[in-house]
C-alpha cells in the first residue's frame, strides 16, 4: 500500500438522499452551486485531484494561465470589472506563493477574490515535504481569512464561507488551502452547508444619530468637500453618491481607486486628489472646513504629511470597516455602515437639516472655480522629438469612450491614465492602488474581458510592467480573450527615473531598460507579441496614433499589442513631494514652474 493510499480515510456509507463525493468533486460542485462561471488557474501535484472533475464540469470555465500571479491578477480584474467574486486556483508550494503578490494587492484595494490552493498530505505537513509551504501562515496578514481544510466533509462549508467573507463587509481576498488527502477522500455532500463564522458580523446599517450629526455638519459647512474613495465603487453606490452630491452642491474629489465613481463631466467634480492630483482637488481638501470621507482611508498619497493635512476641517468618515475610521485622521462623526445604505440615509437627513439651515457656499465655489481656471490639467510637449505619452493615452480614451475598461500597470503611465482618460462610470478603471504592483495590467485586463466580454478592454502598460506578466498574452490568444495592450514605451522605469531626476540630481541609476529607443530593442515588443499570436504594431509618430488605435478597436479575433515609443523625459505633473504639506502656499510655490512650463 502506497503512502498516498494509506493517507485516504475510508469513505462513509452512501445514502440515497445525500450524494457522496470526493473532496475534489465537492470543490467543483460548490463552485457550481455558488454561481461561479469562470476561474483562472494552473494545475500541479497537490491540486491535481480537483482538476480531474473540473475537466468534466460544464458550468465552470477554467482558463489556464502561464503563471499563478497572472491567475491572481486576472481574478482581481474579473472582480473589479464586474463586482462578482473572482477565483484563482494553484497548487502547493511555489504555486501558492506565486499568488501572494496578487492576494496582497487585493487586500490593499478591497477586491473580493477567493484563492483555492492544494496542500501536501496532512500526514506530511510540517516535514518539509516536496512543495510544502505554510500558505495559510504566509497569507494570514494579507487576507480577510485563510482556511486550512484537512477533511473532505469540511470542504463545502469552507468554500461557501470563503465567498461569504470575500464579498461581504469590506471586500477582500480569502484563501482556502486543501490538503491532498482531503481532496481524495469521500464524504456526504451537504448543501447548503451551515456557515459558522464566530465574530464575523459586518455592520451594514449605520447609527441614526450619527447620520443626523453628519447631515447637520454638511448643512452648516461653508467649505465642504466630498472625499470619495474606492469604497463607493465596491459598494456599488455611485448613483446614491450622485444624488447626495447634487442635493448638497458640494465639490467632489475622487481618489485613484475611485475614478469613475462620480462622472468626470459633472460640474461638481474637481478631479483626483493626492500626490499627482489636480490643483483644485488637492486644495479643496486642504482648505476645506468639512471633509466627508466616503469609503476612503486618508492614505499618505492623498494627505501628504498627515499632521498638516486639512488643518481647519472637521471630518465625517463613513466606512464599512471600523478599523479605518480615525486610523489616520480622527473623525468628528464616525459612521460605520454600508455606503449604499448610508448615502440614502444621509441624503434624507441632509434634506431635513437643510430645510432649517443651509450655509452659503458660493464663495467656496468661486475660489475653486478660480483654481480650475488658473491650473488646468495639462502637459508639456517633449523636446527630444519623441511622442508625448499623455497624448497617446488621451487619444485611447477619446477613441474608445466611457464604456470601455482601462486596466493600468503601475508608474507614470498609471497616473497619466488616471488623469487624461475621462471616466463617466464605475468599474471602468482598474489599477493597483495600494500595493502598486508592477505586472498587474495585462492579467487584470484579461480577467476583466472574461467578466465583461462585450466591452472593449485596454491594458495600459509600461515597458517595465509589461515584461513582468506579458506571458498571459498566450493565455489570451489561446482562449479568445481579445484585449488591447498599449505599451507606453519610454525605455525606462519611468516613475523611478522621474524621482531620480527631481530628487537625486538626475542620477538615473539602473532605470534604463533599452526597450524603445535607438536601433537595438531588447526585447522587440512587436516580435514578442507576434510570437504570442497577437496583432502587433509600433507607433513612433503622433500622426500615426489614431490609426493604430482604430485598428486595435476594429480587431476582435485576437489580442492587439501596440508599442507606443514615447519620450523618457515626460513627467507626471502635478506632483506633491512625499512627506510635505498640501497647503496652498507650499503647493503653489513648489509647482508653479511646472504649470508655467505647461502654459508655455
Q: What does the alpha-carbon distance between residue 331 and residue 344 come to, in Å, rounded to a whole number?
A: 20
Q: What does the alpha-carbon distance between residue 458 and residue 394 come to, in Å, rounded to a whole number?
A: 13
Active-site entry in 131, 212, 471, 598: 131
Q: Kind and range of the H or E element at 460?
A: strand 457-462
Q: Read off the C-alpha cell for 455.
A: 466591452
Active-site entry in 144, 180, 340, 449: 180
Show the beta-strand stretches assigned E in 98-228. Answer: 113-119, 145-149, 173-179, 186-188, 224-228
| Helix count and strand count (H, E) for the chain | 25, 20
Q: Read off the C-alpha cell for 241.
A: 453618491
Q: Read off the C-alpha cell for 349.
A: 437627513
495 in active site: yes
State whether residue 249 is helix, strand or coil.
coil
Q: Tell me the Cα Rg of the chain.
A: 25
Active-site entry in 25, 68, 287, 324: 68
Tell which residue, 76, 102, 62, 84, has the closest CA to residue 163. 84
375 in active site: no
Residue found by looking up cell 518539509 in the block: 128
Q: What does the alpha-carbon distance between residue 242 and residue 333 come to, in Å, rounded to a whole number?
A: 21
Asked if 73 contacts 439 with a C-beta cutoff of 8 angstroms, the reply is: yes
Please, which residues bridge with residue 315 across strands? 291
User: What is the layout of strands, in order, in the sheet containing 429-430?
Assistant: 429-430, 405-408, 457-462, 484-489, 560-565, 535-539
180 in active site: yes
Q: What does the alpha-carbon distance between residue 450 and residue 55 come to, in Å, rounded to a whole number?
A: 19
Q: Read off the C-alpha cell for 69.
A: 500571479
With 0-12 / 13-18 / 19 or more C-beta atoms within 10 angstroms meaning exposed / middle / buried, residue 348 is middle
DSSP 540: -
Asked if 485 contacts 458 with a C-beta cutoff of 8 angstroms, the reply is: yes
131 in active site: yes
Q: Read off the C-alpha cell for 569.
A: 523625459
Active-site entry in 130, 403, 503, 578: 130
**102: phi then psi, degrees, rounded to nearest 5:** -65, -35
Active-site entry in 257, 272, 415, 495: 495
Q: Read off the C-alpha cell for 169.
A: 463587509
Ramachandran class of 310: left when φ > 0, alpha when ψ lies in -120 to 50, beta otherwise:
left
State whether residue 446 is helix, strand or coil.
helix
Q: Kind and range of the H or E element at 49?
A: helix 48-56
Please, which residues bridge with residue 264 across strands? none
Q: What does the alpha-carbon distance between residue 572 and residue 494 come to, in Å, rounded to a whole number?
A: 10
Active site residues: 68, 130-131, 180, 495
Amino acid at each position: 500500500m502506497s503512502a498516498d493510499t494509506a493517507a485516504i480515510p475510508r469513505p462513509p456509507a452512501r445514502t440515497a438522499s445525500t450524494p457522496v463525493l470526493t473532496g475534489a468533486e465537492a470543490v467543483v460542485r460548490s463552485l457550481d452551486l455558488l454561481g461561479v462561471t469562470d476561474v483562472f488557474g494552473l494545475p500541479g501535484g497537490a491540486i491535481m485531484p480537483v482538476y480531474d472533475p473540473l475537466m468534466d464540469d460544464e458550468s465552470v470555465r477554467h482558463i489556464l494561465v502561464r503563471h499563478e500571479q497572472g491567475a491572481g491578477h486576472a481574478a482581481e480584474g474579473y472582480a473589479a470589472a464586474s463586482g462578482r467574486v473572482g477565483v484563482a486556483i494553484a497548487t502547493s508550494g511555489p504555486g501558492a506563493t506565486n499568488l501572494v503578490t496578487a492576494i496582497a494587492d487585493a487586500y490593499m484595494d478591497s477586491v473580493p477574490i477567493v484563492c483555492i490552493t492544494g496542500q501536501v498530505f496532512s500526514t506530511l505537513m510540517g516535514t518539509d515535504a516536496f512543495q510544502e509551504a505554510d500558505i495559510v501562515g504566509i497569507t494570514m496578514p494579507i487576507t480577510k481569512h485563510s482556511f486550512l481544510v484537512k477533511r473532505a466533509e469540511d470542504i463545502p462549508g469552507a468554500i461557501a464561507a470563503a465567498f461569504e467573507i470575500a464579498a461581504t463587509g469590506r471586500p477582500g481576498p480569502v484563501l482556502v488551502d486543501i490538503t491532498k488527502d482531503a481532496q481524495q477522500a469521500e464524504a456526504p455532500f451537504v448543501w447548503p452547508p451551515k456557515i459558522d463564522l464566530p465574530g464575523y458580523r459586518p455592520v451594514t446599517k449605520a447609527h441614526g444619530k450619527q447620520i443626523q450629526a453628519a447631515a447637520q455638519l454638511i448643512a452648516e459647512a461653508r467649505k465642504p468637500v466630498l472625499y470619495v474613495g474606492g469604497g463607493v465603487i465596491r459598494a456599488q453606490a455611485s448613483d446614491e453618491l450622485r444624488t447626495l452630491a447634487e442635493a448638497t452642491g458640494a465639490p467632489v474629489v475622487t481618489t485613484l481607486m475611485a475614478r469613475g465613481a462620480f462622472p468626470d463631466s459633472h460640474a461638481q467634480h474637481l478631479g483626483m486628489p493626492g500626490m499627482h492630483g489636480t490643483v483644485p482637488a488637492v486644495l479643496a481638501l486642504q482648505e476645506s472646513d468639512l471633509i466627508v470621507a466616503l469609503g476612503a482611508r486618508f492614505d499618505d498619497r492623498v494627505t501628504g504629511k498627515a499632521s498638516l493635512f486639512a488643518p481647519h476641517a472637521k471630518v465625517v468618515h463613513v466606512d464599512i470597516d471600523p478599523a479605518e475610521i480615525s486610523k489616520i485622521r480622527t473623525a468628528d462623526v464616525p459612521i460605520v455602515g454600508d455606503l449604499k445604505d448610508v448615502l440614502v440615509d444621509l441624503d434624507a437627513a441632509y434634506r431635513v437639516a437643510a430645510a432649517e439651515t443651509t450655509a452659503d457656499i458660493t464663495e467656496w465655489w468661486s475660489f475653486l472655480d478660480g483654481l480650475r481656471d488658473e491650473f488646468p490639467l495639462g502637459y508639456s510637449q517633449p523636446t527630444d522629438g519623441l511622442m508625448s505619452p499623455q497624448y497617446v493615452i488621451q487619444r485611447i480614451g477619446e477613441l474608445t469612450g466611457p464604456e470601455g475598461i482601462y486596466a493600468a500597470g503601475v508608474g507614470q503611465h498609471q497616473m497619466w491614465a488616471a488623469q487624461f482618460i475621462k471616466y463617466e462610470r464605475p468599474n471602468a478603471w482598474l489599477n493597483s492602488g495600494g500595493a502598486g504592483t508592477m505586472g498587474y495590467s495585462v492579467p487584470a485586463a484579461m480577467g476583466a474581458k472574461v467578466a465583461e466580454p462585450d466591452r472593449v478592454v485596454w491594458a495600459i502598460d509600461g515597458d517595465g510592467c509589461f515584461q513582468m506578466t506579458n506571458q498571459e498574452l498566450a493565455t489570451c490568444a489561446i482562449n479568445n480573450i481579445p484585449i488591447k495592450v498599449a505599451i507606453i514605451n519610454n525605455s525606462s522605469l519611468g516613475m523611478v527615473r522621474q524621482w531620480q531626476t527631481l530628487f537625486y540630481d538626475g542620477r538615473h541609476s539602473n532605470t534604463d531598460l533599452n526597450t524603445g529607443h535607438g536601433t537595438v530593442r531588447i526585447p522587440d515588443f512587436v516580435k514578442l507579441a507576434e510570437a504570442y499570436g497577437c496583432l502587433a504594431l509600433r507607433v513612433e509618430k503622433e500622426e500615426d496614433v489614431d490609426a493604430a488605435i482604430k485598428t486595435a478597436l476594429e480587431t476582435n479575433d485576437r489580442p492587439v499589442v501596440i508599442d507606443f515609443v514615447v519620450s523618457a523625459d515626460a513627467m507626471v505633473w502635478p506632483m506633491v513631494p512625499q512627506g510635505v504639506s498640501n497647503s496652498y502656499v507650499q503647493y503653489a510655490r513648489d509647482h508653479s514652474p511646472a504649470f508655467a512650463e505647461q502654459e508655455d
